[in-house]
């Protein structure tokens, strides 16, 4: 636990790099289109509990892992954002299934430390193009859902993005009181 706290307070934070394809504004809503390269992520999943009930627990597991709770005892620094894959129902409410992931910092991409928590898996995620909408404040399920609805309306019904899942992203440690950065990402469908 101390390693996780030390790592998040004093460790280096590596923000996931991307290529900005465009910055757009429609109906007063600004969003970006970004391209992310393939990378390895530490991920943990949950089914049966709501977003707000389980995200804190899953994020702590990942922060413990990158903070040194791994077979090598390696504190890797922190990475941002924490990405939560969610699966909305037709009415917009999130299903009780989600996956929380954090990108393995660059210097560990080739050979990530082995998790000691059996719930954590290392996965290779493919490159992706996303529509990204940024917003501030503390974000839980209702805030992410509201921003996802705003981005859906802005992009319109014909925009080529996946509607069966989206990503809720958080860039800040939980104790940061202001100036917080959150994003909703929609995965662009490849032609």
Q: Write out the two tokens for 10.
A: 């004093």
Locus of tokens 């990475």: 79
Coil, helix or strand for 190? Answer: coil
Distance CA 25, CA 32 (A): 9
Distance CA 173, CA 176 (A): 6
What backbone phi and psi angles, to 5 degrees, belong to 80? Answer: -135, 145
Q: Write out the two tokens for 70.
A: 């791994």
Q: Write out the two tokens for 186.
A: 């929609």
pLDDT at 8: 43
What pTM does this model have? 0.89
Local confidence pLDDT in tens for the 191 residues of the chain: 444 444 444 446 789 999 999 999 998 999 999 999 999 999 999 999 999 999 999 999 999 999 999 999 999 988 899 999 999 988 878 889 999 999 999 999 999 999 999 999 999 999 999 999 999 999 999 999 999 999 999 999 888 999 999 999 999 887 788 889 999 999 998 76
* Whole-angstrom Cα Rg for the chain: 16
């Amino acid at each position: 636990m101390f390693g996780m706290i030390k790592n998040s307070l004093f460790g280096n934070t590596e923000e996931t790099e991307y290529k900005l394809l465009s910055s757009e504004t429609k109906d007063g809503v600004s969003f970006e289109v970004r391209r992310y390269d393939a990378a390895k992520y530490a991920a943990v999943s949950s089914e049966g509990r709501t977003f707000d009930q389980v995200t804190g627990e899953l994020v702590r597991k990942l922060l413990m892992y990158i903070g040194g709770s791994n077979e090598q005892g390696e504190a890797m620094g922190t990475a941002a954002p924490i990405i939560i894959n969610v699966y909305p129902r037709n009415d917009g409410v999130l299903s009780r299934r989600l996956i929380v992931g954090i990108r393995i910092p660059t210097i560990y991409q080739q050979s990530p430390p082995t998790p000691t928590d059996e719930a954590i898996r290392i996965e290779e995620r493919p490159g992706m193009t996303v529509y990204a909408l940024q917003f501030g404040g503390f974000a839980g399920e209702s805030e992410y859902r509201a921003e996802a609805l705003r981005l859906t309306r802005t992009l319109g019904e014909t925009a080529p993005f996946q509607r069966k899942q989206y990503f809720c992203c958080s860039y800040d440690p939980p104790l940061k009181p202001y100036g917080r950065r959150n994003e909703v990402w929609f995965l662009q469908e490849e032609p």
